[in-house]
Amino acid sequence: MNRLAADNLSPALLGDLDTILRKAPNLIEAMRDTAKGTGNLRMLHRVLQFQQHLYQALYFTSSPLLQLPHFGVTEAKHASSGKGNYRTLLQFIEAKALDDKGRKKGMANMTDEHCADVEVLCKYLPLVDFDVQAGCLDYEDDDKKVHFDEVCAAGDILTFYIEIKRQNDKIPDSELGIAHAPFYPLFVEEEWFITLGKAGNEENLFSVVEVKEHENVIRHKMQLPTRGLKPGTYDFDLYLTSTCYVGLDKKTTVKVDLVDPKTVKPAEVHPEDIEAENAPSLFDLLQEGGEEDEDSDFGSDDEDGNTKKKIALKKDADEKDKKVEEQDKSDEQVADEEVDSDDDLVAVELVDGVPETKKNK
């Protein structure tokens, strides 16, 4: 992590350091997920700050100017001391040059080539405008811009419309995306995290969005339910935090007024909306089409009449067959009874000299 490690560590330890740095992104991702899982905004911000310093090979006490090419401890100390000093990276970038070669404080001993390197990096660094609007979403137009209702009631869903715009928007999108991290062994992509919390309080994380797009203008939406909140005025802090640079983060506060739901007049329904609501649905149209197809399969009314006659004739024939079958069963039953009567004659006795049939009991 230390940019001076090459002078302080043996080759074996440098190899171990390289292995650790290459595996660090997976560990940092797990740390971020843990912080998001706990819902602690401060914890997530500390993880992101650690990620920034890791990629830029900085201690937390180091000057952010060390991120600039050809800036060492001496140059950073000179730039951050005395009159007209620059203590942050943003202050250095926004400062005016002291000569036509682009030199600024701390660059007096640099060559013209080194000064050009610093100027190029300052041009490509992600200096952005962070604009946020909040309200109850009405609709979104074709340009992906949102339009809000006039008022928001307690219990509604708040929508935060966020626009991130590079100040130097003349750089093609194809040239964006790779961060300047010369001491890190892997390529580092520019990413941002948008976090939402209560104003002045970093305890509760309300929402978070990871921004991976590499464009001059990036738009995102965040939504926050207000169920359980009482009518009143609420302040929310939104943070834009870089994952790869120290000192370029942004913060803005948005104020939202929630009114009593009882005071909100019901929205007037447009006649066209009513007509559309009463119009047959796609399912209804498909059902109607299915019935027409079913009728067409059975043909005309004449064909229906012939079909009914055939069904009636078949029914009569079935009934006749049924009667014949029942008659046959009846005849078989009578024959069986006669056989049973013969079986009952099992003995003949003489009673008073007269033959008499005796049945088995």
Nearest residue to 210 via CA among 247, 180, 236, 240: 240
| Backbone region of residue 284 per phi and psi (left: phi > 0; alpha: psi in -120 to 50; beta: other values) | alpha
| Residue 197 reports pLDDT greater than 90 | yes
Q: What residues pair up with 345 in beta bridges, in sequence order?
A: 359
Q: Give me the pLDDT at residue 242, please.
A: 97
pLDDT tens digits for 34-70? Answer: 999 999 999 999 999 999 999 999 999 999 999 999 9
pLDDT in tens, 240-250: 999 999 999 99
Residue 154 has pLDDT above 60, yes or no: yes
pLDDT top residue among 306 and 167: 167
Q: List the one residue out of 33, 53, 60 whose CA is nearest residue 205.
A: 33
Q: Running DSSP on this structure, what letter comes out for residue 314? A: H
Given a contact cutoff of 8 angstroms between Cβ atoms, the answer to whether 205 and 40 are in contact is yes
Query: Cβ contacts of residue 289 below 8 Å, gap of 6+?
Result: none
pTM of the model: 0.71
Return the ∠ at Cα 172 (arms to 170 and 175), rounded to 5°: 125
Using an 8 Å Cβ cutoff, are 181 and 56 in contact?
yes
C-alpha span between 16 and 280 (Å, rounded): 70
For the CA atoms of 298, 299, 303, 304, the dihedral, rounded to the nearest 10 degrees, stands at: 50
Q: Helices marked H in the chain — which ranges?
A: 5-8, 11-38, 41-55, 73-79, 89-94, 112-124, 271-278, 282-298, 301-343
Burial (CB count within 10 angstroms: exposed 0-12, middle 13-18, buried 19+), residue 231? middle
CA-wise closest residue to 1 among 13, 344, 12 = 13
The confidence score (pLDDT) of residue 191 equals 95
What is the predicted pLDDT for the residue at 276? 73
pLDDT bracket for residue 174 (50, 70, 90): confident
Q: Using an 8 Å Cβ cutoff, are 195 and 130 in contact?
A: no
Backbone φ/ψ region at 41: left (φ over 0), alpha (ψ -120 to 50), beta:
alpha
The pLDDT, as a whole number, for residue 349 is 46
- The strand pairing partners of 162, in sequence order, are 132, 220
Q: Tell me, what's the pLDDT at 57?
A: 93
pLDDT digits (tens, 9 = 90+) for 106-124: 998 999 999 999 999 999 9
pLDDT band at 347 (very low <50, low <70, confident <90, very high): very low
Q: How far is CA 110 from CA 68, 105, 116, in A?
A: 12, 11, 10
Q: Determine contact, residues 106/71, Cβ cutoff 8 Å.
A: yes
Which is it for strands 152-153 and 250-259: parallel, antiparallel or unpaired? Answer: parallel
Cα atoms in the Cβ-side hemisphere of radius 13 Å centred on 212: 2
